[in-house]
Structures are given as structure tokens and as C-alpha cells.
Chain A
Amino acid sequence: MSRELTYAEAVREAIDLAMARDERVFLVGEDVGVYGGAFGVTDGLYQKYGPERVRDTPISEAVIAGVATGAALTGMRPIAEIQFMDFITLSMEQLVLQAAKLRFMLGGKVQVPFVLRTPAGAGTGAAAQHSESLENWFVHVPGLKVVMPSTPADAKGLLLASIEDPNPVIFVEHKLLYRTKGAVPEGYYTIPLSQTEVKRPGRDLTIVATSLMVVRALEAAERLAKEGVEVEVVDPRTLKPLDAEPIIRSVCKTGRVLIVHEACKTGGFGGELAAVIAESEAFDYLDAPIRRLAGLDIPVPYNRELERRMVPQVEDIVDAARRLVKEAR
């Protein structure tokens, strides 16, 4: 059975199920309790599970990450929340130098199983310090996993899989996705990490997109279909460790690939994807250069129109896809 849920509701349901199922799971972060989280994601959990398992913290991002690390190291399954992905900059040391490496540094003798949830993305008019998409920083760190769901059903299944995972997982949600709706299966289920999904099949062009850009790519594909262009939309869902095989297979089929993400282009995940494709057997099937459509290399602007232009929109994807297909026909 499945019903329509918003992305935020799906995340909440996953947390609820995990907490009901496993005593070790608890929630820790700023305003996650009575307030219900800055975006209302954890609404009602405080009332259900009480202050011990739904823990409000002071504004202390370093120690939120430290608490998650220390508790995970000694038998708990924390779900930490960093209120805006921007603020994760204040947690970097504990995440990158401690959580990510502890298992390796200690010769594989410990585990650090926690999930750090954080909302990313522009589009809310929150300007440059509340709109970052920093996922690729973490992709660069061995020992961390990076998950970025694009649909409510994925959000629920991937979050439950992340909570079960014995490694530190950076779980990147998107603010503009919170209110999007989709069919979500009832009950407890997991979607395995590192499993890329083809969201829409097509033969003319592969679009690999992440998070919100998957939704926009699907809309673009719908429009392009009316012009007779069949776009295949591929969603990695887990950025690290990446399941590259379906992406490579898709590019071998279509011969053209457009990579779309919201984060700034330079040093973004698209560069990694492009390299993975170029290094694979898909290279010999490329009938056009690999193209990237990504956020402009600027801080997120406040002005509505400037902010809109900074991030790829549906029409941008349609344009880029159309050009790519035309030039190779």
C-alpha cells in the first residue's frame, strides 16, 4: 500500500519508524524538539518520544557532530540535524577528521554509525549563507557516505537504509523538495545505498541529475518528449560510494550525456561524474561532448530573479538538452 506523502512527511515517517523500532536511535540538533525543526520535518516526534530521544542542542554545530560521532562510537544510532547545510562548515573537523577516519585509523576496530541530515539548496530567498549545496565536499572524503534523495519514496527508504548503515552518512535533503508530493509505500522499507536509479527511460540523451534537479530534469524530459526527443533521466541517489554502472550503461545507449546539479559548477559533483563517464567504456559511445549544467560560480544571490538564474531551471535543462541532441544528429 502506498499513499501520497510530502518529502518532509516521508523523512519524518522514516525517523519515526526507526525510533519506534530501535531504542538506540535518537534525534539531536538545533530546534528539532518542540519547535519541530526549522522546516517542520521533525514535527511531533518530540511529543511522541520525549526530550531524551529528541534532543534540542544549543547553537553548537561542532559538538552536534561530536555528539553524533561519540555516541555512535559507543553503541548508539544518532540522527543529527544541521539546520542549514551552510552551518555544516562549523562541524567540518568532527565530520571530516574524526567521524570519517576513526574506523580506518583504528585499524577497523570501531564503527561510527550515524546519519547527519541537513537541508541544502537555494530558492527560498535566504541568500548566500542559508542556501548552500556543499555535498561534493563530503564526496571527497573517504569514510563518509553521501545520500541525496529526490523523491518522497526515495527519501524514506534511503533514510532508513542510512540509519541501518554502519558508517557516517551525510543525508542531504532539499528545502524545495520538502513540499513535493509522491507515492510513498507504507511501513518499514529500505532502499539500498549506492544504487543508481533510472527515473525515466529514453534513447536520445542521458541526463544525470541529483536532488531537486532530478525533478526538474523529469519535467524537462516531459517537454522534450513532445518534440520527439526521448530523454533518459538517471538519479545516482547516493553520491558516495557511487553506483556508476547504470550511468555508464545509459550513456553507452544514448551516446550523449547532460549532467545537472544545483551546486556551483567548478569542483562540483558533475566534474566527478563526467570523469567517471569519460574513463569508462562509455567514452567510445559518446557522440557529443559531456556537458554540465550547474549552479553559477557565485554565492547565492538574494534577489528573486538573480537567485533563479543562479540555479538550473527546467527551461535551462530543456535548452541544454535540445542543443546537445541537435548538434549530434
Chain B
Amino acid sequence: MNQSFADLSPERLRALLHQMMLIRAFEEAAEQLYLQGLIHGTMHLSVGQEASAVGACAALRPDDYILSTHRGHGHCIAKGARVDLMMAEFFGKETGYCRGRGGSMHMADVETGNLGANGIVAGGVPMAAGVGLSIQMQRQDRVVLVFFGDGATNEGAFHESLNLAAIWNLPVIYFCENNQYAMSMAITRASKVEKLSDRACAYGIPGVTVDGNDLLAVYCATKEAVERARSGGGPTLIEAQTYRWKGHSKSDKQRYRTKEEVKAWQERDPIARLAQKMLEAALLTENDLQQLQADVDAEIAAAIEFAKASPEPDPATIFEGVYA
């Protein structure tokens, strides 16, 4: 076992690399479908942030919970969701994860512990305290990991949730994907602390900042936080520094940043970095890599076919799900 790959087996590493590639392929396909007019609404792409989603979820058990964000396709896939059912949701089809009622911003797969993406910045953060309390009161040894962006850390609810989880010692991992911008607002303009994880000290909990484009770094930091939470040590605030390559949503002209800045971050591509590292460690061959890419492309193609062939929701069921 190579020390630099933590406790991850080569098979596991290949699986995680595959997951990152699948996320990217899914989002690139989604963008194409949008441009072709096959998908409506909007979407928030996490291209460039795959390591934080996959690294964080790799440290969780299948029965652990996550709460996700509007930029949540990666979290959903990383937690184990099926891309065909996701694609069907994208198409608004009855076979989709949310029966076409939620779409990109509310993608959820309760069976794999994903309690849902969220259209509201910091929307999942207060709920995470409730999920944590639920776990604690039911004497389960699960944890809940809540993803949120740098923008969410300036919402009041963020403070309320971290404080409550801290005083009640709840098994919550607060996972901040700092992709540098809340829409156009740079985090350097929005916060005066050097690292967002510094805020942890305000709640008396551990805080850590990691390179969010380094899968192993993310994995290791999350694993430590998960172990602490699971053993009754309470919440942790993790900040994964990363970057979104695409605009905030489909209508972003990206006037707030330079092409050079984007390019510099693209050179730190989390997928290429892991692949390179595995190639160097002979855990992967170029052939393997090509095969992985081919597998991923086929999966996405099949997902699109499934979504296209799926039925639309029956308008007669429009009221379903409003009340239980």
C-alpha cells in the first residue's frame, strides 16, 4: 500500500477516478443537452470540483446521510446515485429520482442517503442539525455531511446551525466547497477571515482547510471528521478550496473573473491530477484510462437514451406529494 493513497485500495481508487470522470461526463452532457434545448430551466455545473464531492463521499458509509446544494450533481453521483435516473429527472420524466418534480436543483436519492440538493443557499445547513439530532436521539452510528458553498457561510442560518450542532455535539460534518465565488461575489470580498475554516473556532469545534482539487487530501480530512463525529466527538467544519470552471448558471457572462484565472485553475484539474498520480504509481495504465473514459461515455449515452424514452408525468398526478 502506497502511503500517499491513504487506506484506499487500487480498486477503490479506480472506482473513485471513474466516479469523478462520470460526474464530469454527466455535466458536460447535461450542458450539451441544455444547449440543444432538450432540457429546460437552469443548471449549476460543478466541473472542476469533482474531487471535493468524491473525496468527501468516499469517507462516508452508504447509510450515512448527505445534504447537498444547487451545485449537487457531483454529490449525488458520489453518494451512489444512478446516472440514468438522474438524467431522467433532468428531462423532467416520471422515472426520474423526483418523478420530474424537482429537476436539477432538487436531485435526491433517499436510498443512498442523499436527502436532496437545495435551491436555497445554506438551505440544507439548518436541516443538517436536525438530521444530526435525529441520528443522536436514535442512537445510530451514522453521520450527516452537509455540503454548502462559500456563499452559504455568510447566511445567518449557517451560524445558528453550527452553534447548535456544537453545543449538542451532533454528528454533523459541515463541508464547505469554497469555489471562490458566490455567483459573482468573490469570497475575498465577502469574508475577512483568511480561511473559512477559521470560523470553526467561533463555535468551539475543529476546522480544517484542504486542497479541494486533491482527492486524497479531501478524503483524509473528511475521514478524520467522520470518525470524530461517529465516535461522539461532535461536528467539524471542513473547507475544501476548489474552483468551478463553468459560470454560476446558464446565464453567467463571467465578467467578474479573468480567463487567465480560470486557466490557472484548470491546470489543477482534479481528475488529471489523480490519474497522473495513479499512472506514476503504476496503479493505472493509459489503456485503463481510455477504457474508463469509454465506459463513462457509454453510461452517459445509455442514461440519455433511458431519459428520452421515459414517460412524462401524468398531469392527473399533479397534486401528488403535496401532502402525505
Contacts and interface: CB of A to CB of B under 8 A. Distances in A.
Q: Do chains A and B touch in the complex (CB under 8 A)?
A: yes
Interface of A: 26, 52-53, 55, 57-58, 60, 62-63, 65-76, 78, 93-94, 97-98, 102-111, 113, 142-143, 145, 166-167, 241
Given A70-B129, A78-B130, A103 B98 contact: no
Interface residues of B, number: 45
Given A70-B134, A74-B135, A106-B108, A63 B126 contact: yes
B106 A67 contact: no
A63 B161 contact: yes
A66 B101 contact: no
A244 to B, nearest CB: 16
Nearest to B111: A109
B130 A72 contact: yes
21 contacts: A55-B168, A58-B163, A62-B126, A62-B156, A67-B164, A69-B127, A70-B67, A71-B137, A75-B138, A94-B157, A97-B120, A105-B116, A106-B97, A106-B101, A106-B102, A107-B98, A108-B101, A109-B110, A110-B110, A143-B322, A145-B323
B96 interface: yes
B163 A60 contact: yes
B126 A106 contact: no
Contacts of B314: none
Contact of B321 (A57, A65, A93, A107): A107
Nearest 3 interchain pairs by C-beta? A70-B130, A66-B126, A107-B99
B106 A106 contact: yes
B130 A66 contact: yes
Interface string B64-76: 0101000000000
B149 interface: no
A105 B106 contact: yes
B217 to A, nearest CB: 29
Given A58-B167, A74-B65, A93-B157, A104 B130 contact: no
B127 to A, nearest CB: 4
Interface of B: 65, 67, 96-102, 106, 108, 110, 115-116, 118-120, 123, 125-135, 137-138, 144, 156-157, 160-161, 163-164, 167-168, 320-324
A46 B88 CA distance: 49
A109 B98 CA distance: 8
Contacts of A104: 101, 321-322
Which residue, A57, A73, A107, has most C-beta atoms of chain B within 10 A? A107
Nearest to B320: A108
B110 A106 contact: yes
B124 to A, nearest CB: 8
A3 B125 CA distance: 45
A93 B120 contact: yes
Contacts of B118: 98
Contacts of A66: 125-130, 157, 160-161
A72 B130 CA distance: 8
A311 to B, nearest CB: 32
A57 B126 CA distance: 13
B114 to A, nearest CB: 10
B323 A106 contact: no
Given A107-B97, A107-B100, A166-B324, A63 B106 contact: no
Nearest to B157: A62
Contacts of B160: 58, 60, 62-63, 66
B324 A76 contact: no
Contacts of A76: 130, 133-134, 137-138
Contacts of B98: 105-107, 109
B130 A111 contact: no
Nearest to A28: B133
